Structure formats: C-alpha cells, structure tokens
Amino acid sequence: MKAKSPVIWPLLGLAALVLLNAVHDLGFLKITLLDGHLYGVPIDILTQGSRTMLVALGMTLVIATGGVDLSVGSVVAIAGAVCAVLLQGGHSLALTLAAALGAGLLAGSANGLLVARLGVQPIVATLILMVAGRGLAQLIVDGQVIIIKSPAFEYLANGFLLGLPVAPLLVVALYLATHLALRRTALGLFIEAVGDNETASRFAGLAAARIKALAYIFCGAGAGLAGVLAAANIRAADAYRAGENMELDAIFAVVVGGTALTGGRFSILGTAVGALLIQTLTTTMYNLGVPPAIAPVPKALLIIGVTLLQSDKIGRWLGGLWPKREAA
Amino acid sequence: MKTTPWFKTLLLTFGFAAALASAAPLKIGFAQTGAESAWRAANSESMKVEAAKRGIDLKFSDGQGKQENQIRALRSFIAQKVDAIVLAPLVETGWDPVLRDAKRAGIPVIITDRSIQTADESLYACFIGSDFFAEGRMAAEWLAKKTGGKGRIVELQGTPGSAPANDRRKAFAEGIAKYPGLQVIDSQSGDFRRTGGKEVMEAFLKKHGKIIDILYAHNDDMALGAIQAIEEAGLKPGTDIVIVSIDAVREGVQAVADGKINCTVECNPLFGPKVYDTVAAVLAGKTVERKSYNKDELFDATNSAAALPKRQY
C-alpha cells in the first residue's frame, strides 16, 4: 500500500463527531421515512453541506494549481440573482440554469484571465470579483430580496428522487465525473505539475497558463451551480447574504481534506469529507446546544487539530514518540 | 411671563435664521453606513425621498462599511457648510475629533439608528434610533397574551454580539420571565439569514421533535427560512408552531396575512420624516428630546392584510 492517505484524518474527525453526537443523543443517527422520503439529521447534513461541497470541488483544483479563489461567495450571490430575475420574468427553467452556469463560467474566466494570462496574484485578482461581485448581484436584483415561485427550481435543492435528496445526489455525481476526468486522464497530473512548479511544467511542454485558467473557470462554474442550489434552498435570491463567507468554508474543506495550500497535490475525496466534516460540526453545535457566541471556537480547534495531524513535522514528532509502531 | 429684552433679541435672531433657512433650500449632509441589508436600503431611500418631498438639498454619502469613509464625509459636509449633519454611525467610538470640528463650525449633528460613545455629550444634538429592546418586549407580551403564558419556545438569535440580537434576546427573556409556563428550551444563532434560520430550525425539529410549541425569531428572514423547515417536517407553521418574529418586512407581513407567521413586530427603517422634523426643530432652536425612538407597530392576524398594500419595504 502507498503512503498513508491524507484523507484518513478528516475521516477520523468525522467519525469522532458522529460518535460524539450519537453518544449525546442516539436520535442523531435516526433516519425515518416521512411523506415517502428519507428524513433525519444525516440527510440534513448532506443537503445543507452539498453547497459547500460543490464550491469546494472547484476550489480544490484552483488550490492545486497554487492559487486561491476568494470570489466564489460573490459568484454564488450573482448566480442566485440571475436565477431569480429570469424566473420572475417567466423564462424557462433550462434557460435559467444555463444563464446561472454561464454567469459562473464568465466569472471564472475573468479570474482565469487575470491570474493566468496577466499574472496578477490570485488573492488580489479574485478579491476584485469578491468585492465587486456582491455589488453586481445587488444591482441585478435592484437591492431587493426576490422570491422564487417555481416548484421545479426548488426541487433541485429540496426535492427527493426515489426517496433520496436530490442536491447531494447531483453533487456526488459531479464529484464522480470530476474524479474520472482528472484521474483517468493525465489532466489531474497536469494540474499538480503546474501547482508544483509552473516554470518547469511549461518547459516540459505543458500549456501551464491554460491549465490554470481552466481551473478558475471550473471553479466559477461550480460556484454558479452552488448559487442555484442556495437560491432554490430558500426559494429566494438574497444578494446581500447569499454565499457570505462561503469562500472560507470551501478553503477549510479543501485544506482539512488534505490538499496543500502551496499547490501541487490534491484530493477530491478529501475535499468531500472535509466539507461534510464542517457541516457536521455546525450541526453538532446545534445538537449539543453550544451557545452561538462560542460555537466558532470548537470549529477552529478541530481545524487546527486536523491540519496539525496532517503536517509532516508533527507526523515525524509523533513517530519519534512511538518508534516501534511506526516501524511496524 | 416676564421676557427680558435680550431674550426677545434671541427669539428674533432665531426667527430670522429660520426665515433665511426656509428661503434658501436647507442643505443637510447624511453619512450612511453603507448598503449592507434590505433594511439599510429602505432607510437610505426614506431619507432621500423625504428630502426631495420637502425640497431639502440632501448630500448623501455611502460609507461602504468603513468608519474612515464616514469621517471623510463629515469633514466634507463641514467644508461645504451644510446646515445640519445626520450620521448613522457604523461603530460606537472614535467620533469625537470630527464632531468637535462640526461643533466649532456651528453645525448641529443628529445621530440616527445606532448610538455613539463620547466623553462630551454636547457634541451632538440628539439621537434617533430603533428601540430593539421595546421590540423584544412587544413580542414577549403578545406571545404571553396569545398563548395564555404557556409553551415551549425555541429562539433563533441574530448575529451574536450585535445590538439588535442582544437587546431582542434580553428584552424577550425579561418579558416572559413573569410567565413560568413560557420556557425557552433552545436558542441558537441563524445569523439573521434565511439559510441560517432554515438550517437551525431543521436541527431543532430533529432534536426536540414535536414538543416545540413556539418559535421566536429575531428577524423575519430567519422566520421565513424556518417556515420552510417546519413545512418540510410535515408540520403547519402558525398552527402547530406559533411563530413570533421582528422586522415586519413586506414578505414577513405577507406571511402573517397567510397565517404562517402569527405576529411580527415592526423595526421601522423609514426614518426620513422624523429626522427632518427633528433637524427643523434643532435649527429653530427648540429643545428636542435627547433620545427618541422611531415608532414601531405590531402586525398580527387582525391588521396584517390591511397593512400590506402600504408596506414600502
């Protein structure tokens, strides 16, 4: 077997959290049937966590190229605003979804152009859209919260297919597709090469700039789809608050999942687990009744814990404490 | 009443000043915090519309969520020699130097929405705000009357540490303290967001099941999100769970009319009329109340449908 997978630590964290909740209240794990679909806390975690999972998927690739995309939260707001305005204008669902995806692609292209072609620092380049994008979203909805009355649109986030929640199914399908596209072809390797050493990979014949730009475009598209889910979830486009701080949750998920912020290696499975870990943690706070003012503290502690465990230095130090177990 | 000659002169001077002011359009500078919420947008709109209605020359400045922008705006108002300044301070402290400049230039400053802390109270003319505390108390009183003082309550708090969340929480807790039958069994933050309200309510419903009688939300957005969670759990909002909320945005009042929210207490953002009335009074040299609050109403099944067409925000 190859070296210890980085996914192991977030998985352990997730298992520990689930155990903690189950010990506190066994009802946490209970899944029942209600009106012909599954109903329970684990289903909530999957449904609520699906948006972060989606945003974090694109973020994984961007971070793997050595960059970061801070604009995803604003892109979520833009895509939601586009959906609301189009649906209110009586346009079809297909056109609405295409437009939201298009908005995400466009936003990603803008970031890609700035970072890959013009060489702007990723943090600065995406910060521009992060700030301007929210203003743009408010402009689209004219500063109002627009209510969406479309059962078909809402189905995407709150519906059930054969008793299973639709949003997580969609996201899992996207994860699988992305995994196959990256790991069954050389594309994943190219992204890691560019993240590891852009100059060397260019000399080796890779179109480094194009690969980088593609990562941002993919990330923008993911954020656009997450915007659709966010708007469908609450049947409204809230340009002020939609996607707020989502970039941070996505970056947490990616980092906790074992993708290095320095770029050069990534784990899609790890990101999925990381996103679920964060959502489970939020739900745990509600479940244990932790006062909201101190709820961020355990979240921070867990993230520190998992990232420390992943660090090579800590690993060696721990290995030094138990030399025999490491050798075995 | 005995009036001394100097008092007469003073009255004359003020009368003269008032006459002058009414001849040339009144110039007022308004330093807004930014455009962070629908409430804030309605607040700015009210100030602009009311100024246009009264023929006031309003210099509007959007602070974009930064105190330094607001201070810069105040300095520019002073340089433009406006007749009065209205400030919606982003934070409580750090205003003394610029307010001293305004005082030296003889320009009265009126603080709205949020209060400030200052060593010298004479630096501003008065404060006009929303009484978050009264809102929470009104919600508690209405609830006690409606339920006969009995029920298990879950609370959706606003952003932890924010003034509206703190005051609405404290006032509500004090309000229901008189009724031992009313108990808050769980309280979490939905961060004033619709998504937050939905997510937390989902968790509450799983955790407590059918024993929840009442939901108290610190704003309508969270209540509207929670309604979805309640419906998805197969319960009827407004019937199975009594919902009390604050803000009375149009959609919230609509939900009251639809019977999904039982009562929403207004947090009125339409400051325009009261602020300009106060400015006029201050400029005319009348004494104004040091601290006054915008009047808030309460909407429930009895008056929501009638109020709906008139809601501006």
Residue B263 within a domain? yes
Residues of B in contact with A285 (CB under 8 A): 188
Nearest-CB residue to B203 (from A283, A291, A292): A283
Number of domains in chain B: 2
Say which DSSP state A145 is in: P
- Dihedrals phi, psi of A116, to nearest 5 degrees: -80, -40
A265 closest CA partner among A257, A273, A274:
A257
Check residue B2 and give its pLDDT. Answer: 46
Residue A3 has pLDDT above 80, yes or no: no
Closest residue in B to A230 (Cα–Cα): B195
More confident position, B18 or A247: A247
Q: What percent of chain B has pLDDT over 70?
A: 92
Are residues B137 and B195 both part of a single domain?
yes
Domain membership of residue B15 (yes or no) is no
Look at A287 and B35 and tell me if their CB atoms are within 8 Å. Answer: no
Handedness of CA B250, B252, B255, B259 (dihedral sign): negative
Q: Report the chain B residue with the minimal C-alpha distance to residue A238.
A: B194
Question: Which residues have C-beta within 8 Å of that of residue B243, sequence separation ≥ 6?
Answer: B214, B215, B217, B223, B226, B227, B237, B260, B261, B262, B263
| pLDDT tens digits, one per residue of A140-184 | 988 778 888 888 999 999 888 888 899 999 999 999 999 999 999
Tokens linked to B217? 């939300």
Distance of CA B3 to the CA centre of its chain: 41
Q: Look at residues B267, B285, B307 and tell me which one is the last residue of a structural domain.
A: B267
Chain B nearest-CA residue for A135: B35
For the stretch B175-200, pLDDT in tens is 999 999 999 999 999 988 889 999 99
What does chain B come to in residues?
313
DSSP-derived secondary structure letter, B109: E
Examine the domain organization and report whether B103 and B143 are in the same domain.
no
A44 to B203: CB separation less than 8 angstroms, yes or no: yes
Contacts of B194 in chain A (CB under 8 A): 234, 236, 238, 241
For residue B235, count other CB atoms closer than 10 A to its CB: 15
Residues B276 and B256 in one domain: no
- The answer, yes or no, to whether residue B226 has pLDDT greater than 90, is yes
Residues 268-287 of A with CB under 8 A from B: 282-283, 285-287
- The per-residue DSSP string of A91-142 comes to --HHHHHHHHHHHHHHHHHHHHIIIIIT---HHHHHHHHHHHHHHHHHHHTT
DSSP string, B166-180: HHHHHHHHHHHHT-T
Express each pLDDT in A109-141 by its tens digit: 999 999 999 999 999 999 999 989 988 998 998
Residues of A in contact with B203 (CB under 8 A): 41, 44, 283, 286-287
Same domain, B97 and B183: no
pLDDT at B1: 43
pLDDT category of residue B3 using cuts at 50, 70 and 90: very low
Domain assignment present for B171:
yes
Instruction: Judge whether B303 lies within some domain.
Output: no
Q: Give the contacts of A322 (CB within 8 A, at least 6 positions apart).
A: none
Q: Is the pLDDT of residue B129 over 70?
A: yes
In Å, how far are A44, B140, B152, B169, B236 from B182, measured between CA atoms?
Answer: 29, 10, 6, 14, 21
Is the same domain home to B248 and B277?
no
Residue B225 with chain A: CB contacts under 8 Å: 234
Domains parsed from chain A with CATH numbers: 8-327 (1.10.3470)
| Most B-contacting residue of A44, A48, A246, A284 (CB-CB within 10 A), to test interface | A44
Cβ neighbourhood burial of B12 (10 Å; 0-12, 13-18, 19+): exposed
Question: What was the pLDDT predicted at A31?
Answer: 84
Q: Which pLDDT score, from 0 to 100, does residue B85 have? A: 95
Sequence-separated (6 or more) residues with CB below 8 Å from residue A107: A71, A74, A75, A78, A129, A133, A220, A223, A224
Residues in chain B with CB shorter than 8 Å from the CB of A27 are 206-207
Q: Closest approach of chain B CAs to the CA of A263, in angstroms?
A: 32
Q: In terms of domains, do B152 and B223 share one? A: yes
Residues B193 and B287 in one domain: no
Tokens at residue B132, please? 């978050």
The better pLDDT of the pair A313, A310 is held by: A313
Instruction: Measure the CA–CA gap between A103 and B100, rounded to whole angstroms.
Output: 49
> Would the CB atoms of B195 and A242 count as touching at under 8 Å?
yes
- For residue B238, the SS3 value is coil
Mean pLDDT, range B102-115, rounded to an integer: 91
Nearest CA in chain A to B312: A144
Residues of chain A positioned with their CB less than 8 A from the CB of B202: 44, 48
- Chain B residues in contact with A145 by the CB 8 A cut-off are 38, 221, 251
Residue found by looking up tokens 């002169």 in the block: B9
Judge whether residue A301 has pLDDT over 90: no
pLDDT at A323: 58
Beta-carbon pairs below 8 A across chains A and B:
75
- Tell me which residue has tokens 């402290």: B93
Q: In angstroms, what CA-CA distances link A294 with A100, A298, B10?
A: 36, 8, 57
Please tell me which of the candidates B195, B203, B224 has its beta carbon nearest to residue A233: B195
Residues of A with Cβ-Cβ distance to B255 under 8 angstroms = none
Domain co-membership, B56 together with B158 = no
B31-53 pLDDT per residue, tens = 998 876 777 888 898 999 999 99
Q: Is the pLDDT of residue B211 over 80?
A: yes
| Interface test mutation site (partner A, options B162, B187, B194, B228, max chain A beta carbons within 10 A) | B194
% of chain A exceeding 90 in pLDDT:
54
Cross-strand pairs, B189: B157
Q: In the prediction, which pLDDT does B135 show?
A: 92
Q: Is A233 on the interface with B (CB under 8 A)?
A: yes
List of chain A residues whose C-beta atoms are within 8 Å of the C-beta of residue B35: 138, 143
Residue B105 has pLDDT above 60, yes or no: yes
Q: Is residue B199 part of a domain?
A: yes
CATH code at position B59:
3.40.50.2300
Average pLDDT over residues A38-60: 92
Pair B257, B137 in one domain: yes
- The gap from C-alpha B69 to its chain's centroid, in whole angstroms, comes to 22
Q: What is the pLDDT of residue B6?
A: 56
B84: buried, middle or exposed (CB in 10 Å: 19+, 13-18, 0-12)? buried
For residue B156, the chain A residue with the least C-alpha distance is A292
Q: What range does the domain containing B230 cover? A: 132-267
Stretch (H or E) spanning A28: none
- Average pLDDT over chain A reads 89
Distance in Å, alpha carbon of A140 to nearest chain B alpha carbon: 14
Residue A86: alpha-carbon gap to chain centroid: 25
Q: Is residue B235 part of a domain?
A: yes
Query: For residue B29, which amino acid is it?
Result: G
Nearest neighbour of B193 by CB, restricted to A158, A235, A241:
A241
Does some domain include residue B2? no
Question: Which of B198, B200, B206 minimises the CB distance to A41?
Answer: B206
Partner residues linked to B111 by β-bridges: B87, B127
- Token pair, residue A271, equals 């990101």
Task: Classify residue B257 by burial, with Cβ atoms within 10 Å: 0-12, 13-18, 19+.
Answer: middle
What is the Cα–Cα distance from B146 to A174, expressed in whole angstroms? Answer: 49
Record: contact B188-A27, CB cut-off 8 A: no
pLDDT beyond 70 at B11:
no
pLDDT at A32: 84
Q: Which of B16, B20, B43, B18 is nearest to B32 (CA)?
A: B43
pLDDT for the residue A303 = 76
pLDDT-based confidence at residue A1 (cuts at 50, 70, 90): very low
What residue type is B294 in one-letter code?
A: N
* Alpha-carbon span A295 to B97, nearest angstrom: 38
**What's phi and psi for A324, nearest 5 deg?**
-65, -45
Least CB–CB distance from A292: residue in B36, B160, B221:
B160
> Is B125 among the domain residues?
yes
Would you list the DSSP string of B64-83? Answer: TT-HHHHHHHHHHHHHTT-S
Of B35, B186, B234, the CB nearest to A34: B234
Contacts of B157 in chain A (CB under 8 A): 292
pLDDT of B8 reads 54
Whether residue B252 is found in the same domain as residue B156 = yes
Query: Minimal Cα distance from A43: which residue of B?
Result: B202
Residues B171 and B282 in one domain: no
In contact, A223 and A107? CB cutoff 8 Å: yes
Average pLDDT over chain B, rounded to whole? 87
B10 or B118, which is more confident = B118
Contact call for residues A280 and A14 (beta carbons, < 8 A)? yes
Q: What are phi and psi of B216, to 5 degrees?
A: -115, 115
> Residue B189: its chain A contacts at CB < 8 A?
292, 295
Q: B142 with B258, same domain?
A: yes
Phi and psi dihedrals of B151, rounded to 5?
A: 150, 155
Element (H, E) at B232: helix B220-232
Q: Note whether A158 contacts B: Cβ–Cβ < 8 A.
A: yes
A149 touches chain B (CB under 8 A): no
pLDDT-based confidence at A99, cuts 50/70/90?
A: very high
Nearest to B195 by CA among B171, B232, B226, B164: B226
